[in-house]
Chains A and B, each alone.
Chain A
Amino acid sequence: MKQEVPIIIGLVFGLLVILGVFFPTLGSLGVWKKTIDDWFLLATAWAVGVGVINLTQIHAKRIRSKSKGYFHSIWLLICMYGLTVFGVFFAKTPSNSGWQFVYNQLLAPMSATVYSSIVFYIGSAAYRSFIAKSLDSTILLVSAVVVMLAAVPLGRFLLGAWINQASAWIMNVLNSSGMRGIQIGATLGAIATALRILVGIERSHVGGAAE
Chain B
Amino acid sequence: MNWEKLRNIDRRVLYVLIIVIIALALIKPIGFAIVPSQDTIKAYDYIESLPSGSVVYLGMEFSAGGIPELMPQIQSMIRQGFRKDLKFIAGGMWVMAGDMAEKAFSIVADEFPGKQYGVDWVNIGYKPGGEVVLEKMVSSLYETCVGVDYYGNDLNTLPLMAEVPTIKDVDLISVFCTGTPGEREYIRHVTSPYNVPIIAGLIAVNAPQAMPLVQAGQLITVLTGMKSGAEYEVLVGVPGLASAGMDAQSFTHALILVFIILGNLGYFLGGRKQ
Task: List residues of chain A with CB under 8 Å of any chain B CB.
Answer: 34, 37-38, 40-41, 44-45, 48, 93-95, 103, 107-112, 114-116, 119-120, 122-124, 126-128, 130-133, 141, 144-145, 148-149, 151-157, 161, 164, 168, 171-172, 175-176, 179-180, 183
Contact = CB atoms under 8 A, between A and B. Distances in A.
Contacts, number: 152
Interface stretch (B46-54, B60-68, B78-86, B164-172): B60-68
A116 B151 CA distance: 30
B263 A128 contact: yes
A141 B260 CA distance: 9
Contact count band on B? 35 or more
Nearest to A95: B151
B32 A176 contact: no
A109 B225 CA distance: 19
A120 B259 CA distance: 13
A127 B272 CA distance: 16
Interface of B: 9, 11, 14-15, 18, 32-35, 37-38, 63-68, 98-99, 102-103, 125, 128-130, 132-133, 135-136, 139, 150-152, 204, 207-209, 211-212, 215, 224-225, 227, 246-247, 249-257, 259-260, 262-264, 267-268, 272
Q: Which of B11, B262, B267, B272 has the most CB of A within 10 A?
A: B11
Contacts of A126: 256, 259-260
A148 B209 CA distance: 17
Nearest to B98: A94
Given A41-B132, A126-B260, A155-B253, 20 more contacts: A41-B136, A44-B128, A108-B103, A111-B64, A112-B64, A115-B65, A123-B255, A123-B256, A127-B14, A131-B263, A131-B264, A132-B264, A141-B260, A148-B256, A151-B224, A153-B32, A171-B207, A171-B211, A172-B211, A180-B212
Contact of A94 (B133, B151, B251, B256): B151
Given A153-B34, A179-B208, A41 B128 contact: yes
B226 to A, nearest CB: 9
Contacts of B254: 154
Given A44-B128, A94-B99, A123-B259, A153 B246 contact: yes
Nearest to B126: A94
A153 B250 contact: yes
